[in-house]
Structure 1
Amino acid sequence: MENILEVKNLHVSFDTHGGEVTAVRGVSFDLKKGETLAIVGESGSGKSVTTRAIARLIPSPPGRIKEGEILFNGKDLAKLKEKQMQQIRGKDISTIFQDPMTSLNPTMKIGKQIMEGLMKHQKMDRSLAKKKAIELLDLVGLPDAKERVDQYPHQFSGGQRQRVVIAIALACNPQILIADEPTTALDVTIQAQILELMKDIQRKTESSIIFITHDLGVVANVADRVAVMYAGKIVEIGTVDEIFYNPKHPYTWGLLGSMPTLDNEEESLVAIPGSPPDMLQPPKGDAFAPRNEYALEIDNELDPPMFKVSDTHYAATWLLHEYAPKVEPPAAVKKRMKGFGNTGASPISKKGDD
């Protein structure tokens, strides 16, 4: 399957009063047509900055893309002028943000907000754009779309507003949809509805999705592949099965171990000790070493390269070096890995399961 997006050695920094914050450090990945790639990690790991760089939404100043390529259908977005990006942003690449209330203009009717992109990018007249806006509201499951198209954001619930934001993002049939924690602010019932809606829309439109989240349960339900980020770098990437059933990086073990399960047995969650590093002063060697109980001496000196586990699975840990000691995931993590394959005990259902 062909790549619709290729990110190569992306570096993003922010200039602050305290100095340069290196938010993204050499990130590389690709995205295929019709694929969902989930990017996971703790707050501050660089997930949102990476995707905002792709859409060229990094405010400059203080932010800047220092290095790297963002190839969208072979065109390097990092080198385009803002006017050129305006023809791509919203039309070919759309973003769904975390908080729908801050994404919507409270003084404009929602129909008009959907119509803006249609009139600009699709060159529709007002009447046709309004008809399309109603169709989009129907598509995202908003009842009474004909009446509600003329209402304001404050007249909708949180889940309904998120559906409106999705309708705006889908208006111009984008090739890539960036979903930046789109369900975090919603309760679990509405969250499940929104996730199901996004999967259904993807099946209908064949769009590619980059899904940012810290919730691994969500990942298992929506993703084809998973990229795990820490301290501005991708430390492990693979298919959803490889990340859940055969994780190789200690940080990924920590994320999986911190997942609650629905088992009846009493068990404590595995906490990752310490805190992420200060990116004003990026650490020497492996950034995760101070929090990694399996760290080797070399972790304090050299940043590990990406070691190949399979054709689709790579991890940046010295534990995969041929001379490294053999280390197994903690028992609690192994138990969760085993539980993922048992639908009776699993806290999640795998993508495609009912």
Structure 2
Amino acid sequence: MKSILTVKDLNISFNTYAGEVKAIRGVNFDLKKGETLAIVGESGSGKSVTTKSIMRLLPKSNSEIKKGSQILFDGRNLADLSDKEMQKIRGRDISMIFQDPMTSLNPTMKIGKQIAEPLIKHQKFSKKQAMERALELLKLVGLPQPERRIKQYPHQFSGGQRQRIVIAIALACNPQVLIADEPTTALDVTIQAQILDLMKNLQKKIDTSIIFITHDLGVVANVADRVAVMYGGRIVEVGTVDEIFYNPQHPYTWGLISSMPSIDANDDELFVIPGSPPDLLNPPKGDAFAVRNRYAMAIDMEEEPPMFQVSETHYAATWLLHPDAPKVEPPEAVKRRQRKTPGVYNTKGEE
């Protein structure tokens, strides 16, 4: 399948009073046409910084995309484009949905005008054409009474409705890539499920590719085709949804799966990954996860592991995959959770 977006050796730093924070360190991934790629990891792992760099939305005052970084889209390296060139791409070819819709919506403008704005700017629609299309988009995202509500302001809508409006704005120009930065985190569980179903249905209709950022592995199982696990500014494992949930290879992925709450589990207490993420002011030598990894070996403290190939679509950066490493099985918590929740992790609906 053809890649629509390719990120190669992405390195991003932030200049702070304390020194240089190396937030993203050699990230590589690609996005296939029509697929949903989920990027998961703890807060501070680099998920949002990576995707904001694709949109070139990082603050210029203290951030820097290092020389040699490549964000390849439509034959161009987005990392090298000027602000004026990026303005033509944002909203038209690549759109983004943020976590809190109220930070994306202008409280002083009616929602119809906000949806129409990118159509007028990028598609050269007339105001009348843009408002007609805005009405169609509100119907597409399932907003009730769109003819009346198109004339209302953001504060007159609920959180779930505002998120639907933001999705309508993001999809206005039929972008090739849609980046969703934890779009359901601020919503309750019922509305969250509705928004996820909406995004899956819309993806089929407009044939867009989605990068979905989340820390919720339950969401990942329902929406993604492939998963990239991030830790300490790097991608440590990537594979299909079934590979990540049924055959995880990295100890960090084991920890994330073990920490998922389950209504079927009889665990007395919730599993947590010990310790804290690394300080990227002074990135650790070797494997950044080593100090939190109960299976760490001496080499983990000295050398950063390369990406080992598990299958054609599955890779993991852990020395446990080296031919000379001792054989280590995933912890019982991972296997038990998979046994007690049949079908949850299988995207094909099989148990």
TM-score above 0.5, yes or no:
yes
Query: What is the aligned partner in structure 2 of residue 350 from structure 1?
Result: 347
CA distance in 2, matches of 1:265, 1:58: 44
Change (3 A) 1:176 1:352: farther
Alpha-carbon deviation of 1:352? 6.7
What is the deviation of 1:75?
A: 1.3
**1:73 shift after superposition:** 2.2
Amino acid at match of 1:299: D
Q: What residue in structure 2 maps to residue 65 of structure 1? A: 65
Compute the TM-score of the two structures, normalised by the length of structure 2.
0.97
In the alignment, residue 228 of structure 2 is paired with which amino acid?
A
- State how far apart, in whole Å, the 2-side matches of 1:330 and 1:264 are: 15
Maintained 8 Å contact 2:229/2:236 = yes
Pairwise CA distance, 1:339: 3.8
Aligned to 2:55: 55
Amino acid at match of 2:38: A
- Per the TM alignment, residue 29 of structure 1 is displaced from its structure 2 partner at its CA by 0.5
- In structure 2, the CA distance between the partners of 1:248 and 1:197, relative to structure 1 (3 Å rule), is same
Q: What pairs with 1:1-354 in structure 2 (closer than 5 Å)?
A: 1-67=1-67, 68-263=69-264, 265-340=266-341, 342-343=342-343, 346=344, 350=347
Indicate if the aligned counterparts of 2:96 and 2:170 stay in contact, CA closer than 8 A.
yes
1:335 Cα deviation from its structure 2 partner: 1.1
Instruction: Provide Cα deviations, 1:55-89, integer angstroms capped at 9, x if missing partner.
Output: 11111121110131000122111111110000001
SS in 2 for 1:273: coil
1:226-255: per-residue Cα shift (whole Å, max 9, x none)? Answer: 000000000000000000000000000000
State the distance in 1 between where 2:167 and 2:40 align: 21
- For 2:89, what is the secondary structure of its paired residue? coil
Listed as ranges, the gaps of 5+ residues in structure 1 are: none
Per mean C-alpha deviation after superposition, the further-off stretch among 325-334 and 239-248 is 325-334
Give distance in 2, aligned partners of 1:214 and 1:351. 22
CA distance in structure 2 between the partners assigned to 1:163 and 1:224 by the alignment = 23
Q: Report which stretch shifted further, 245-254 or 266-275.
A: 266-275
Q: Residue 266 of structure 1: CA displacement?
A: 4.0
Distance 1:76 1:352, change over 3 A: farther
Letter matched to residue 7 of structure 1: V
| Distance in 2 between residues matched to 1:231 and 1:225, nearest whole Å | 20
Farther off after superposition, 106-115 or 249-258: 106-115
Q: Assess if the C-alpha contact under 8 Å between 2:264 and 2:340 holds in 1.
A: no
| Superposed displacement of residue 337, structure 1 | 2.8
| Alignment partners' CA distance in 2, 1:335 and 1:266 | 10
**Aligned counterparts of 1:352 and 1:58: Cα–Cα separation in 2:** 39
Higher mean displacement: 40-49 or 73-82: 73-82
The answer to whether the Cα contact below 8 Å between 1:46 and 1:231 also exists between their aligned partners in 2 is yes
Moved more, 27-36 or 69-78: 69-78
| Contact 1:39–1:229 (Cα < 8 Å) also in 2 | yes
Could you report, residue by residue, the CA deviation over 1:290-314 in whole angstroms, capped at 9, with x for unpaired residues? 0000000011110000000011000
Kindly provide the CA deviation profile for residues 27-73 of structure 1, in whole angstroms up to 9, marking residues without a partner as x.
Answer: 00000100000000000000000000011111112111013100012
Q: Is the contact made by 2:180 and 2:212 (CA closer than 8 Å) also made in structure 1?
A: yes
Partner of 1:234: helix, strand, or coil?
strand
Distance 1:102 1:349 in 2: 35
In the alignment, the residues of structure 2 paired with residue 255 and residue 39 of structure 1 have an alpha-carbon distance, to the nearest angstrom, of: 13
Q: Which segment drifts farther, 285-294 or 73-82?
A: 73-82
Structure 1 pair 57/234, CA: closer, same or farther in 2 (3 Å)? same
Total equivalences in the alignment: 349
**Quick check: 2:265–2:340 contact (8 Å CA) kept in 1?**
no
Q: Could you say if the C-alpha distance between residues 103 and 351 of structure 1 is closer, same or farther in structure 2, counting changes exceeding 3 Å?
A: farther
Asked if the contact 1:96/1:166 (under 8 Å) is kept, the reply is: yes
Deviates more, 1:264-273 or 1:18-27: 264-273
Q: Decide whether the 8 Å contact of 1:39 with 1:228 is kept in 2.
A: yes
Deviation at 1:265, TM superposition (A): 2.8
Shift of 1:350: 3.0
Q: Secondary structure at the match of 1:57?
A: coil
Deviation at 1:175, TM superposition (A): 0.3
Q: Note the residue ranges of structure 2 that are not aligned, 5 or more in a row.
A: none
Shift of 1:324: 0.5
CA offset at residue 351 of structure 1? 6.2
Asked if 2 retains the 8 angstrom alpha-carbon contact of 1:306 and 1:317, the reply is yes
Q: Provide the TM-score with structure 1 as the length reference.
A: 0.96
Q: Given the superposition, is the C-alpha separation of residues 349 and 163 from structure 1 closer, same or farther in structure 2, using an over 3 Å criterion?
A: farther
Q: Percent identity?
A: 70
Q: Which amino acid aligns with 2:175?
A: P
